[in-house]
Amino acid sequence: MNDEQRDYGSIWRHLAYARHDEVKALADKGVRNWKGTVDHQAARLALGDYKLECFAEGLRDKMSAPWFAPAEWDELRLYLLEKHHWSLNCVRRLKSREDFLFALHPELHSLRLTPEQSAPVREWVRNLSVRDEIAPHLAPQTSASPES
């Protein structure tokens, strides 16, 4: 599946709203160990989730085979086996999104999203002060898509 066939806007919104609800619940309990508003922190956390999804989707495309129907996170486990030579037992212990965000931090940190992947994120954060913090993770702005 190519970028034009994927609904990156829906993927981003789903992750952003989920993180917003999570951060709001923490704030309502008096937990505020971040700078900025609930919206700022939710955008930061959603960016990590979204980059993980985009990274996994790219791996899925590369690893696709008639005999391989990956279960959730399997393409990430295969990547860790192949690239970092982790043991099978070790990668099988990775279960949660947070596990993979931690294990793949260097890859995700250096990943720059494509223009198609970047568009919904850029739109979401355009009026938030975290836009400058998030911008290095997005494709460069082109003259065809002016900054709002």
- In this predicted model, what pLDDT tens digit does every residue of 60-73 receive, in sequence order? 988 888 998 888 89
Specify if 111 maps to a domain: yes
pLDDT for the residue 2: 56
In a domain, 91, yes or no: yes
What would the mean pLDDT of 76-105 be, rounded to a whole number? 96
Residue 93 lies in a domain: yes
CB of 73 closer than 8 Å to CB of 89: no
With tokens 């919904």, the residue in question is 120
Query: SS3 for 67?
Result: coil
The whole-angstrom separation of Cα 143 and Cα 84 is 39
Q: What is the mean pLDDT of residues 109-134?
A: 97
Tally of structural domains, the chain: 1
Comparing CA positions, the residue from 139, 115, 108 lying closest to residue 44 is 108
β partners of residue 68: 65
In a domain, 148, yes or no: no
